[in-house]
Amino acid sequence: MKKRMGVIALLALMMIFILPMFAWAAEEGIDTGDTAWMLVSSAIVMLMVPGLALFYGGMVRQKNVLNTMMMSFICLGVITIQWMLWGYTLSFGSDIGKLIGGMDFFALNGVGLEPAGTIPHQLFMVFQMMFAILTPALITGAIVERMRFPAYLLFLVLWATLVYDPICHWVWGGGWLAELGALDFAGGTVVHISSGVSALVAALVLGRRRGYGTERMVPHNIPYVVIGAAILWFGWFGFNGGSALASDGLAASVFVNTQIAAGAAVMSWVIVEWLRHGKPTVLGAASGAIAGLVAITPACGFVTPMGSLAIGLVAGALCYFAVSYAKVKLGYDDSLDVFGIHGVGGMWGALATGLFSVEAGAEGLFYGNVAQVGIQAISVVATIALAAIATFVILKVVGAITKLRADDEAEVLGLDVNEHSEKAYSV
């Protein structure tokens, strides 16, 4: 028996040394370690979408939980097709005037297994696809409990095409913001500011929910919110860590920074809330985590652990005030605080990258380079401008084609029954 184990161990050892040699022979320029990490990253970023569905679903009232979850989940269908047909090529096709990608990768033509960096081109495409799916799903938190589903689907396709794809090209596809030297490691502008600002505009165009401000509108299932936040946090390691596009030291440092900022923001949100209201809330802890994760997203590849700690601590407190104070004062119904967390957290993160960056040649303000904050500010303003204007126009166009809002009766009865003929919980 012992002898057989020895033989097996020897065989296993031989495999370890021999197998990689075959792998090398198979694809020149492709790194198997990088490829493995990016495959895993892509899969765990996909999991963020149902994570978001839980995070948002728990925060709405019982009668709208299915509609809310569906608005996230359906992105896995709609945007997968949009991205493979024309979204990827608009974002990463050959550059046209630094503004948009060309049509050369239409329907994934020419997107094969050749190396893109050190991973297969198709893998890069699918990793980016997960970002494109998650980003519009983030917006839905602002429009839940009142938007008609057909109108939402139309909005979704147009927004992905006219807002996400161009901004993605500007920052990551070789567009003008990349050329300007704006730093956005994993999507502070592309993902969070774009979705956060669009969410605010959408909330304003749609108007408040019936009874907002007078009726009690509170989360129907906070355990869902906690599970959702946990899945999002887990997914963020793929989201940020995968943005290194390699299984290397940079990915490890990104992982560490991501964790530190999230933890710090949990603590600052909870402590500020505890001081103001007398109790530390679970919803606050979950919200703080997301605020920290949002804020570190653009910075995670460029800052130190201490920088991450500062970014996270500020993000938690800042986003808490954005949702509990600014929103109430201004009176808009950004139902699940997409602007307060993704918009405000994203802007803080993008600017903070210009403060704390230690990237050679693009150091932040605290390391003697004043210009970087200015560049970051330009990228923030440009993203806000395109997202706000385009979202407004898209909603007006969609509104001219089909009604945006569910009628009053549907809103009272709930969108689950009205839009989907289903109920989440049987009596």
Partner 1 sequence: MVKIEAIVRPGVLEDIKDGLSKFGIHGLTVSQVMGCGLQKGRKEVYRGTEYSINLLPKVKIEIVLAAKDADGVIEVIIKAARTGEIGDGKIFITKIDNAVRIRTGEKGDAAL
The binding site for partner 1 (CB under 8 A) comprises 216, 218-219, 273, 276-277, 279, 281, 283-284, 287, 320, 323-325, 328, 337
Residue 404: closest CA among 158, 117, 103? 158
What is the closest distance, in whole angstroms, from the C-beta atom of residue 181 to partner 1 in the complex?
36
Residue 338: closest CA among 151, 67, 68, 129? 68
Residue 394: closest CA among 208, 210, 209, 206? 206
What is the closest distance, in whole angstroms, from the C-beta atom of residue 383 to partner 1 in the complex?
25
Residue 245 or 323: the one with the smaller Cβ distance to partner 1 is 323
Instruction: Report how many helices (DSSP H) and strands (DSSP E) the chain contains, helices first.
Output: 21, 4
Q: Tokens in use for 52?
A: 């978001």
Q: Report whether 88 contacts 108 (CB < 8 A).
A: yes
What is the closest distance, in whole angstroms, from the C-beta atom of residue 239 to partner 1 in the complex?
23
What is the closest distance, in whole angstroms, from the C-beta atom of residue 47 to partner 1 in the complex?
25
Biggest CA-to-CA distance, the chain: 78
Residue 163 or 229: the one with the smaller Cβ distance to partner 1 is 229
What is the closest distance, in whole angstroms, from the C-beta atom of residue 267 to partner 1 in the complex?
16
Residue 279 or 403: the one with the smaller Cβ distance to partner 1 is 279
Residue 103 or 217: the one with the smaller Cβ distance to partner 1 is 217
**What is the Cα Rg of the chain in Å?**
22
What is the closest distance, in whole angstroms, from the C-beta atom of residue 324 to partner 1 in the complex?
2
The length of the chain, given as a count of residues? 427
Sign for the CA dihedral angle at 216, 58, 419, 204 comes to positive
Residue 217 or 410: the one with the smaller Cβ distance to partner 1 is 217
> What distance in Å separates the CA atoms of residue 78 and residue 80, rounded to the nearest whole number?
6
Task: Tell me the residue type at 374.
Answer: G
Residue 175 or 343: the one with the smaller Cβ distance to partner 1 is 343
Residue 335 or 391: the one with the smaller Cβ distance to partner 1 is 335
What is the closest distance, in whole angstroms, from the C-beta atom of residue 287 to partner 1 in the complex?
6
What is the closest distance, in whole angstroms, from the C-beta atom of residue 69 to partner 1 in the complex?
19
Cα–Cα distance list, 414 to 67, 336, 410 (Å)? 9, 17, 6
Contacts of 80 (CB under 8 A, 6+ apart): 129, 133
Residue 191 or 319: the one with the smaller Cβ distance to partner 1 is 319
What is the closest distance, in whole angstroms, from the C-beta atom of residue 380 to partner 1 in the complex?
24
Contacts of 419 (CB under 8 A, 6+ apart): 67, 70, 148, 149, 406, 410
CB atoms within 10 A of CB 172: 20
Residue 283 or 377: the one with the smaller Cβ distance to partner 1 is 283
CB atoms within 10 A of CB 205: 17
Q: Report whether 163 contacts 390 (CB < 8 A).
A: yes
> What distance in Å separates the CA atoms of residue 327 and residue 323, rounded to the nearest whole number?
5
